[in-house]
Structure 1
Amino acid sequence: MNYAYLLAAIVCEVVATSALKAAEGFTRFWPSVVVIVGYALAFYCLSLTLRTIPVGIAYTVWSGIGIVLIAVVGWLAYRQPLDWPAIIGMGFILAGVVIINLFSKTAGH
């Protein structure tokens, strides 16, 4: 269940960060509401994962997957290009998350 909370935290953070660009410095009301509510839910869900998953592992997974998803959202929604070094770097981030989850004894399995 803790990884379900972590997944929810990641999704909420990605939604909030995506809306942050649309909020235009908090000058647009509804995107600003999405940012505030999304980050609040993200941190709440992240806090629930910390009951059993070590903070370093939880934060690594949260930020690593979040980085990649935000880059994909930027590419799809905002037409922000991704060059090969960026794609390769994100591949390394994902590889690190997979290695932690498959092989680390501290990952809370």
Structure 2
Amino acid sequence: MLKFKAWAFLMIAIMAEVIATISLKAASGEGWGYALMTASIILSYYFMGLCVRIIPIGIAYAMWEVLGLCLIVSFSIFIFGEMPNIYQKIGIGLGIIGIVLINLGEKK
């Protein structure tokens, strides 16, 4: 149960990071965007701190970054109409492969 809770905390941290990043673009420099970004980043780091008590920091950080990136790119495509180029798509794919390899290499 404890490991499940740590993974739930990591997912909350990732979603908070995504909200923080998307809010900056959506707000177009208005104050509410900065306020939402600040609150979301604080929330993200708080839950990241909770999850690394159980999940190794290397795995948690890699997943936080790459899954957050994938979600941000997805939202930017559907909300803002920003399409990644081939190099960016390759980079995202390599990041996902990296997460898989890191998780496969985790000591049980």
Alpha-carbon shift at residue 103 of structure 1 (Å): 3.5
Q: Distance in 2 between matches of 1:102 and 1:41?
A: 29
Q: Which segments of structure 1 move beyond 3 Å, counting only runs of 4 or more?
A: none
Unaligned residue ranges in structure 1 (runs of 5+): none
Q: Distance in 2 between matches of 1:12 and 1:91?
A: 22
Q: 2:17 aligns with which of 13, 16, 32?
A: 13
Q: Distance in 1 between matches of 2:48 and 2:40?
A: 12
Alpha-carbon shift at residue 84 of structure 1 (Å): 2.3
RMSD of equivalent CA atoms? 1.6
Alpha-carbon shift at residue 80 of structure 1 (Å): 1.2
Helix, strand or coil: the match of 2:15? helix
Helix, strand or coil: the match of 2:41? helix
Q: Distance in 1 between matches of 2:31 and 2:63?
A: 31
Which range moved further: 93-102 or 61-70?
93-102
State the aligned residue count.
104
Correspondence list, 1:1-109, <5 A: 1-25=5-29, 28-105=30-107
Unaligned residue ranges in structure 2 (runs of 5+): none
TM norm structure 1: 0.84
* 1:9-36 superposed Cα distances (whole Å, 9 cap, x missing partner): 00110011000112334xx132222211
Amino acid at match of 1:66: G
TM norm structure 2: 0.85
Alpha-carbon shift at residue 92 of structure 1 (Å): 1.3
